Amino acid sequence: MKQKPSLKARALRFLASREHSARELAAKLKPYAEETDDIESLIQWLQEKGFLSEGRFAETYARHRAARYGSRKILYDLQNHQLPSSVMQEITETLEETELQRAFALWERKFGKPPETLPEKAKQIRFLQQRGFLGNIIRQVIKGDLPDFD
């Protein structure tokens, strides 16, 4: 008879595939936990040993989504993971530094030219808003009021 993996083994397997937040990992482990298992102490042990890092998770999450979404959307999604405020502050600063460049790159891939009519302009603005970019960034991109990114 094959023995089922321990909670620690499952946690390490989850972490080997990708970074997780503590909250997300705890939720994934909960269905496998038995009465004697202490998920909180396992999470703490994983953090102490460096297997689980909220900072690494947030950085990876933000980097993966940065090409398609604005900082507002990414930060909103990260808030659901209940990350420490220091981690959120660091990610916010990182995203804000590249917001205009990311918005322009996304806009250029999708549209490639400034809007010629009001309906086109509205469509481009809506697209960038739905992706979570801030209003002032959207206005700069649509106007073509862009600094040299080099």
Coil, strand or helix: which one is 104?
helix
The per-residue pLDDT for range 32-89, each reduced to its tens digit, is 888 777 899 999 999 999 999 999 999 999 999 998 999 999 999 999 999 999 999 9
Q: What's the confidence (pLDDT) of residue 1?
A: 64
CA distances from 123 to 51, 81, 90, 129, 143 (A): 44, 32, 32, 10, 14
Instruction: Kindly tell me if the per-residue pLDDT of 95 is higher than 60.
Output: yes
Residue percentage of the chain with pLDDT more than 90: 82
Amino acid at 68: R
DSSP state of 30: G
Spatial distance between the Cα atoms of 107 and 130, rounded to a whole number of angstroms: 12
- Measured in whole angstroms, the distance separating CA 31 from the mean position of its chain's CA atoms is 25
- Let me know if 133 is exposed, middle or buried by CB neighbors in 10 A (0-12, 13-18, 19+): buried
Token couple for 1: 């008879």
Residue 150 has pLDDT above 60, yes or no: no
**What is the distance, to the nearest Å, from the Cα of residue 54 to the centroid of all Cα atoms in its chain?**
12
Task: At 129, give phi and psi (nearest 5°).
Answer: -65, -45
